[in-house]
Amino acid sequence: MLKRIAVTQVRLGMYIQELGGSWIDHPFWRKSFKLEDPVMLKTLQASPVKDLVIDVSKGLDVLHEAGSVQASEVGEAALVRPKEDEGLPSSAEPQPSSPTPAIKRISAEQERAQAKKLLKASKQAITSMFNEVRMGQAVNAVDAMPLVEEITASVSRNEGTLISLVRLKHKDDYTYMHSVAVCALMVALSRQLGMDDKQTKQAGLAGLLHDIGKSAIPLEILNKPGKLTDEEFDVVRGHPKAGHDILLASNGVDEVALDVCLHHHEKVDGTGYPYKLPSEGISIFAKMGAVCDVYDAVTSNRPYKEGWEPGVSLQRMAQWSKTHFDDRVFKAFVKSVGIYPIGSMVMLQSGRLGVVVDQNPVSLLKPLVKVFFSTKSRTRIPVEVLDLSKPSAQDKIMGHEDPLLWGVEDIHELWSQ
């Protein structure tokens, strides 16, 4: 029997079926679990959660003491969620006739605070997921879906904000936040490809779980700051198969997530791993995973290298596209993140340097740019935000620039504050 109770009535031994309120305010990533740790109990009591649902058939009931708040029974139907784990063949093509329902777009500035809050919660969730897998616990896709839905909602409100902010992850957080980044990139790409809502969420879940096999890699190899030995590199290359095995033993994981986990390192020229599949043997979802995985990898700071500027990364990836990526998928990816992604430093026709702070959904070539430097005088100038889509801007982008070449060391602070 299910009961809704106040958080003040919670005690060790109860089975938590569902936490009240928004997922982003929850202290735990799992939706359902047995409460057996005193530290977890204190964390829950100190959280914003006010009420929750317990299942007394799987754990302890409330203590009915004098003056206590009466718990209320909850019908099973009230907790039913739409099934998110219904399979889709990994070879399925997107269905343009059923696009993801539109959500009103807001500016990057408006979305930034919510996106930062989501990233903080996401880090806790993914870290917990990886730690649980390392201890032999199975992944439950239903538990992961609230995170996928929050990421999907953020990307829908503004396609670039969350994606740009997650790129700023610390190198020590790379393994965990890379999963969040690829989830967001997969969502944005699936929308660009015209996938429907179900396929978009499946792509997002696949992105979130694609590197779960890295939980099987020893941390001293995973976080090694120097070059890997051949033997260590072989261990790392085993993570797609290891992840596939983990997901096969998990609950509610569909064919799309299994496929992307196993095949996101395959290349269209047949030189990828683990199976050296030719292009026609790689599903569209795995091809999407390959592009998203590489983009976040090359733009992020890693234990052994600094990340590339996002615009430069796209240019270099374009050079690899004939061997690494599916052409249609890569072109859609560029559109999804923008020719000039948020955080890119650009040279304007006027000779000023600026950093892209938001996309223009009408024209990828005319984003919002925060101008801050004159290359003619080689000095900082008063900051000004230009909407290049408006005639009053009287300027245009000439190309990408590397911040380090101009001695600009605060480029991230310029756009992310």
Regarding whether 180 and 150 lie in a shared domain, the answer is yes
Regarding whether 269 and 191 lie in a shared domain, the answer is yes
Peptide bond into 391 cis (omega under 30): no
Using DSSP's 3-state secondary structure scheme, residue 314 falls into helix
Residue 93 placed within a domain: no
List the one residue out of 155, 185, 160, 170 whose CA is nearest residue 123: 170
- Which CATH number does the domain housing residue 299 bear? 1.10.3210.10
Q: CB–CB of 385/370 below 8 Å?
A: yes
Angle, CA 195 vertex, CA 194 and CA 199 arms, to 5°: 170
Q: CB–CB of 328/309 below 8 Å?
A: no
Residue 89 placed within a domain: no
Regarding whether 303 and 204 lie in a shared domain, the answer is yes
d(CA 71, CA 54): 10
Residue 101 placed within a domain: no
pTM of the model: 0.82
Beta strands at 368-374 and 379-387: parallel, antiparallel or unpaired: antiparallel
Beta strands at 345-348 and 51-55: parallel, antiparallel or unpaired: unpaired
Q: Which residue has the tokens 């941390």?
A: 219
Q: Which residue has the tokens 């938001």?
A: 358
Could you say which of 315, 337, 359 is where a domain stops?
Answer: 337
Range of the domain at 210: 108-337
Regarding whether 288 and 368 lie in a shared domain, the answer is no
b vs e for 59-77, b when ≥16 Cβ sit within 10 Å of the residue's Cβ? bebbeeeeeeeebeebeee
Regarding whether 67 and 147 lie in a shared domain, the answer is no
Regarding whether 227 and 137 lie in a shared domain, the answer is yes
Regarding whether 187 and 302 lie in a shared domain, the answer is yes
How many beta carbons lie within 10 A of that of residue 180, not counting itself? 26
Could you say which of 280, 314, 337 is where a domain stops?
Answer: 337
Regarding whether 201 and 159 lie in a shared domain, the answer is yes
Work out how many domains the chain is built from and give that number: 3
Regarding whether 271 and 137 lie in a shared domain, the answer is yes
pLDDT in tens, the chain (417 residues): 899 999 999 999 999 988 887 777 777 777 788 898 898 898 888 888 889 999 999 999 998 654 444 556 665 544 444 443 333 344 444 444 444 455 789 999 999 999 999 999 999 889 989 999 999 988 888 889 999 999 999 999 999 999 999 998 888 789 899 999 999 999 999 999 999 999 999 999 999 999 999 999 998 998 888 889 999 999 999 999 999 999 999 988 999 999 999 999 999 999 999 999 999 999 999 999 999 999 999 999 887 788 888 988 999 999 998 899 999 999 999 999 999 999 999 999 999 999 999 999 888 899 999 999 999 999 999 999 999 999 999 999 999 998 888 999 999 999 987
Regarding whether 290 and 143 lie in a shared domain, the answer is yes
DSSP letters, 92-124, are: PPP-TTSPPPP-----HHHHHHHHHHHHHHHHH
Could you say which of 316, 337, 358 is where a domain stops?
Answer: 337
Residue 84 placed within a domain: no
Residue 354 placed within a domain: yes
Residue 103 placed within a domain: no
Residue 171 placed within a domain: yes
Regarding whether 329 and 356 lie in a shared domain, the answer is no
d(CA 302, CA 200): 28
Residue 257 placed within a domain: yes
Regarding whether 261 and 150 lie in a shared domain, the answer is yes
